[in-house]
């Protein structure tokens, strides 16, 4: 397992690599969700590259960049259980040298859902992902479905900017209590993990309603709102029933495939979760 910190050295290493390259971009604080992406890359590709870079451009001033968990030694240890050919571990001056002044901005999907509450977030993500794609030149890149909007925006980036990269999405990995795995779960106490698990319970109840034939979007949202709202420590940012592709909110009858997603604060910790539901397969 090779560790490289500069773009120049990475490019030199990359020149000698043949066959498919699976790429798993991360910000470190690796958990089962990231490791499932690495395992999928191992299954799909001859080579696997993991990047660990805590990208300041996707954090607003008021957000948790300084407190974001940094567990580099544990991360490297976890990756030894996989076939990782190279770990790309750049620092800030490598990724954003003095004078850096370019931003990649997707202007449609990025304005909705997470983008409403975190206006700078997705341009920070698309900028770093584009840079990493240019450096790593993967054939495949792996993204988790927990960040459903990010996944769609990266798919759009690849399409709009003609990157010859297959974007592979991988299912959400959950804790035993159902809470979606996230590096930010590290902020929660044991009791708070339990409280946060109600987010998934609420989504599961919404899903059950859909499966039972309830296709009124407001009723689905109300069900989810009621369960999450019953927990005093949980503060809802949004609960959305949206078109799965355009992410445009659906009012009234659901007649297309949907993404049901939520963002909730537990104290200062922002937690997101979602599920997709295919109306066509329910008919
Ligand atoms: O999902 C993440 O961890 C980050 O947004 C990513 C894709 C690594 C870009 O910094």
Atom of ligand 1 nearest to the CA of 183: 3
Q: 55 CB less than 6 Å from ligand 1?
A: yes
Bigger pLDDT: 145 vs 283? 145
The pTM is what? 0.97
Q: 54 CB less than 6 Å from ligand 1?
A: no
Where in the sequence numbering do the catalytic residues fall?
Answer: 34
- Determine the average pLDDT of the residues in 173-182: 98
pLDDT in tens, 39-82: 999 999 999 999 999 999 999 999 999 999 999 999 999 999 99
pLDDT in tens, 94-147: 999 999 999 999 999 999 999 999 999 999 999 999 999 999 999 999 999 999
User: What is the reported pLDDT for 155?
Assistant: 98
In testing the pocket of ligand 1, which one of 60, 128, 182 has its CB within 8 Å of the most ligand atoms?
A: 128
How many angstroms separate the alpha carbon of residue 133 from the centre of ligand 1? 12
Q: What percent of the chain has pLDDT over 90?
A: 98
Q: 182 CB less than 6 Å from ligand 1?
A: no
Q: What percent of the chain has pLDDT over 70?
A: 99
Q: 148 CB less than 6 Å from ligand 1?
A: no
Residue 42's contacts (CB-CB under 8 Å, 6 or more residues apart) are 22, 48, 82, 83
């Amino acid at each position: 397992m090779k560790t490289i910190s500069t773009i120049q050295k990475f490019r030199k290493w990359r020149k000698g690599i043949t066959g498919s390259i699976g790429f798993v971009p991360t910000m470190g604080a690796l958990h089962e969700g990231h490791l499932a992406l690495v395992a999928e890359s191992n299954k799909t590709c001859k080579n696997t590259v993991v990047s660990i870079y805590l990208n300041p451009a996707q954090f607003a001033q008021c957000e948790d960049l300084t407190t974001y968990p940094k567990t580099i030694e544990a991360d490297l240890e976890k990756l030894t259980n996989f076939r990782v050919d190279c770990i790309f571990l750049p620092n800030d001056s490598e990724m954003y040298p003095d004078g850096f002044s370019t931003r990649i901005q997707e202007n449609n999907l990025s304005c909705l859902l997470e983008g409403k509450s975190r206006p700078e977030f997705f341009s920070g993500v698309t900028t770093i992902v584009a840079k990493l794609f240019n450096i790593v030149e993967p054939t495949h890149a792996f993204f988790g479905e927990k960040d459903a909007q990010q996944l769609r925006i990266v798919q759009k980036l690849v399409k709009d900017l003609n990157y010859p990269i297959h974007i592979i999405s991988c299912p959400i990995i959950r804790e035993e209590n159902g809470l979606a795995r996230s590096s930010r779960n590290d902020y929660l106490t044991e009791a708070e993990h339990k409280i946060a698990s109600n987010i998934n319970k609420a989504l599961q109840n919404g899903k059950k309603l859909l499966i039972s034939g309830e296709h009124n979007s407001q009723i689905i949202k109300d069900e989810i709102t009621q369960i999450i709202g019953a927990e005093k420590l949980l503060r809802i940012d949004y609960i959305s029933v949206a078109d799965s592709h355009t992410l445009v909110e659906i009012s009234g009858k659901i007649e297309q495939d949907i993404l049901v997603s939520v963002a909730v604060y537990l104290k200062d910790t922002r937690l997101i979760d979602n599920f997709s539901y295919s109306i066509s397969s329910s008919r």
